[in-house]
Structure formats: C-alpha cells, structure tokens
Amino acid sequence: MPEDIASRSLKPEGGINFIRTFHKQKEDQGVNLPPNLAELVINPSYVQSPDSLVWKYFYDLKGSKEYRFPGGIIQLAQYWKNASELSSHEQIFSEFLNQHQNALTLSTLRIYNNGLRQPHFHFNANEMGYVISGCAKVGVINTQGITEFNVHIGDVVFFPMGTQHYIKSACDEDLLLILAFSTGDQLQTLDMDDYLQATADHILAQLFFKKQSEFKKIPKFEEDQAINLP
C-alpha cells in the first residue's frame, strides 16, 4: 500500500514517518510467531462479553452438556427443537443456528478404549470427522457389503447422508473426534439397537427368517447403548 494512502487512512502520530517504520517481512505473516513475542505483546486480555448478542456467535463446545454412555461421551453444538433443558446461552446459539440454513451441527465424540459407536446413520446430514487423538477401526455398511479401514491422528472420515457406519476405538488411549454434520435442522440419527427394539418381533422374524422367539434374546438396557463396551 502506498505510504501516503496508509498515513491518510490511519492518521497515526508522526504521520507518514511512522508508516515508514514498518518493514516488509520476507516471509508471509498470515500465521506468525515472532522470536520476541513476549516483549511485543504485554498483558493480553481476552474477556468474554456478557452481552447475549455474543452468544449467537460463540459456543463453548468443550464446556457444554455431556451426553454420557457406557463407552464414551458426546457433546453437541446444534439446533435443538426442544430447548427446555439448555442453558440460556445454549438456547440463544441453538435458535440462531436454526435461522441460518447453511449452518453446521458440530460435536465431539469420545470413545473409551475398546468402546464402540454402534452402527447408525443420519437421516438429514452428511458427516465429516477429524481424529484428534487415539485410533480406530471404521466400518461403512451398504448394499455392496462392508468396507473397513483404520484411522489415526490427523485422518478425516466422511459418511454420506443415510450411510450406515460404526467406529470402534482401537488404542489404549481414548479416541477423540471432532464431527461436523451438514444440516441446519436438528440432527436426526437412528442407531441399530433402537431400530431393533422399536420393531415388533413378528416383523423382525419375517424380515430375518428367524423364529419370533429368537428376538427375545436381545436385551433391553436402561442406559442408552449408542457408545457401548463389551
């Protein structure tokens, strides 16, 4: 930018001479870390505004409600049709998301060692996930069969809308993923056990060519088994 234009725009003390004290860096400084950072930045302060307007744009996902299962934890930043149990900040963010059709649902998925995010699919969203820690075996189920592959830190997975998939933790440490879902509405998910428990035994018998009594062997649990342990 011409020095005189910068000086006229910013009107700094010292005018154009102040502008001339800036030197063009040899490397792109889009993301930088100067060697003398400590002396350049003194007592930085990042105070969160109490204004409710801020909470339309800011959401503490890590500090949000934890949905706990035997084999792991899910936390969500999304629009909720029933927001009665949300905090005031969560309600503001939820309503604001719903006002924008191109908004994403975001979540963290933590699966304990040997835990399984059971087979499930999403009615209204594509899903993309990034592995932050741990490792896993991922399975995708479709009419052609099952595709399985291993993922590690830094890997990205993608599941198209309606594709049944599962994720099994395969390391000693917890598996942690950040997930994004392409829906501006509340995320709709169907887990394998929910489908079976909600379907009458005589329908399952006809569908799977097994005696109706066989499906009594599938237990019902008090806890949601979306992420389970052996």
Instruction: Tell me the per-residue pLDDT of 68-106, one tens digit each, with 9 for 90 and over.
Output: 999 999 999 999 998 888 888 899 999 999 998 788 999
> Dihedrals φ, ψ of 176, to 5°?
-130, 125
What is the mean predicted confidence (pLDDT) over 146-155?
97
Q: Alpha carbon of 18 to those of 2, 13, 24, 40, 66: distances in Å?
A: 13, 7, 14, 17, 52
The CB density around residue 200, as the number of other CB atoms within 10 Å, is 10
pTM more than 0.85: no
Kindly tell me the burial class for residue 37, based on how many C-beta atoms sit within 10 Å of its own C-beta (0-12, 13-18, 19 or more). exposed
Are the C-beta atoms of residues 180 and 122 closer than 8 Å to each other? no
What is the mean predicted confidence (pLDDT) over 201-221?
91
The CB density around residue 55, as the number of other CB atoms within 10 Å, is 20
Residues 6+ apart with CB under 8 A from 215: 196, 201, 204, 205
Give the domains, in start order, of the chain with CATH numbers: 54-189 (2.60.120.10)
Confidence band of 44 (pLDDT split at 50, 70, 90): confident
Kindly tell me the burial class for residue 49, based on how many C-beta atoms sit within 10 Å of its own C-beta (0-12, 13-18, 19 or more). exposed
Inform me whether the pLDDT recorded for 46 exceeds 70.
Answer: no
